């Protein structure tokens, strides 16, 4: 038996949240000194209530003990696993899992498990995870799954628009001056995870322009793969989600699902933001070279 382990930075569509071969460990959100496990002890609605009060959450990686417990339990039950980790450039969870796994294998030398750095976040991780779950259902082995994950990474895209620069400032990603001026000019940054890092890849004036820019990026990069399930990620109002959905349908995309982002990512992106995630190539094309 093979199981896929993800962390709470993987924003899966509803259909896959309770997949029988899926497990999850949580990163942590710290609010006024109290630590909550993302998606288990706190959800987006509750965290937004804190943020609306001006409370700035902080975050931390997966607890090492959670990895020890999971890997040891898997080893004892002869279960193989693959951990698809949130990008190592924004969290220590990948490194922690890798170190813990070495220790566990030292005690259980027959245990088979791989740790893969997704170099992605949120919906970008989910795109890879969904394909891995499909491959597990098809009976693919652990080596094949690891190769498939690595090959899918560069084909996974996630573009997101932020409406309030103050949250990027409080998270240390822009200066106070930039946040003040950007707020006055109604600047909306376009962010993406590229090479594992959260980067501002564009700036527009106004929400409509930001949405248009993201839709244009999707149209340019989806390269005809219109039959896939495209995700719309959101942190606040659903109004932008509906507008994005209309644009995607005009583009020829019909399988669309709105998915709230996890609390850890929302803590850095703020109270209002929306984005789109998708693959630029059918999985069967991506996996052609895997032996």
Q: E strands along 65-217, which residues? A: 80-85, 113-117, 156-162, 187-194, 197-205
pLDDT band for position 267 (50/70/90)?
confident
Residue 105: exposure state from Cβ atoms within 10 A (0-12, 13-18, ≥19): middle
Tell me which of 256 and 198 has the higher pLDDT: 256
Helices (H) and strands (E) in the chain, counts: 12, 13
Is the pLDDT at 259 greater than 90? The verdict is yes
Q: Domain residue spans in the chain?
A: 2-154, 155-286
pLDDT recorded at residue 115: 98
Long-range contacts of 34-39 (CB under 8 A, 24+ apart): 35/60, 36/263, 37/8, 38/8, 38/9, 38/262, 38/263, 38/264, 39/8, 39/262, 39/263
pLDDT recorded at residue 164: 64
Tell me which of 39 and 188 has the higher pLDDT: 39
Residues in the chain: 291
- The answer to whether the Cα torsion of 78, 88, 37, 104 is positive or negative is positive
18-45 per-position pLDDT tens digit: 999 999 999 999 999 999 999 999 999 9
Is the pLDDT at 183 greater than 50? The verdict is no
pLDDT recorded at residue 189: 82
67-98 per-position pLDDT tens digit: 999 999 999 999 999 999 999 998 999 999 99
Do the two domains 2-154 and 155-286 of this chain adopt the same fold? Answer: no
**Class of the CATH-defined domain 155-286:** alpha beta
Please give the average per-residue pLDDT across 157-166, as a whole number: 80
Please give the average per-residue pLDDT across 53-66, as a whole number: 92
Give domain 2-154's CATH architecture: 3-Layer(aba) Sandwich (3.40)
Asked whether 233 and 270 are in contact (CB, 8 A), the reply is no
pLDDT recorded at residue 291: 66
Tell me which of 153 and 273 has the higher pLDDT: 153
């Amino acid at each position: 038996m093979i199981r896929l382990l993800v962390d709470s930075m993987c924003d899966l569509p509803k259909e896959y949240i309770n997949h029988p071969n899926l497990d999850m460990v949580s990163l942590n959100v710290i609010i006024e000194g109290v630590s909550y496990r993302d998606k288990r002890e706190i959800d987006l609605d509750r965290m937004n209530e804190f943020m609306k009060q001006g409370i700035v959450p902080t975050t931390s990686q997966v607890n090492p003990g959670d990895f020890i417990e999971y890997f040891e339990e898997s080893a004892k039950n002869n279960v193989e696993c693959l951990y698809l980790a949130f990008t190592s450039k924004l969290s220590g969870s990948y490194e922690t899992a890798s170190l813990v796994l070495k220790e566990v294998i030292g005690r259980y030398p027959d245990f088979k498990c791989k740790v893969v750095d997704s170099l992605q976040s949120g919906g970008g991780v989910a795109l890879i995870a969904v394909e891995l779950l499909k491959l597990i259902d098809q009976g693919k082995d652990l080596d094949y799954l690891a190769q498939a994950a690595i090959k899918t990474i560069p084909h996974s895209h996630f573009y997101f628009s932020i409406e309030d620069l103050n949250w990027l400032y409080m998270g240390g990603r822009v200066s106070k001056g930039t946040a003040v001026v950007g707020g006055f000019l109604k600047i909306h940054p376009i962010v993406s995870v590229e090479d594992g890092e959260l980067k501002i890849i564009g700036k527009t004036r106004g929400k409509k322009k930001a949405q248009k820019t993201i839709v244009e990026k999707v149209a340019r990069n989806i390269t005809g793969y219109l039959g896939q399930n495209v995700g719309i990620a959101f942190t606040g109002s659903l109004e932008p989600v509906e507008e994005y959905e209309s644009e995607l349908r005009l583009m020829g995309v019909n399988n669309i699902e709105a998915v709230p982002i996890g609390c850890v990512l929302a803590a850095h992106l703020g109270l209002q933001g929306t984005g789109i995630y998708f693959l630029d190539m059918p999985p069967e094309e991506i996996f052609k070279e895997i032996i």
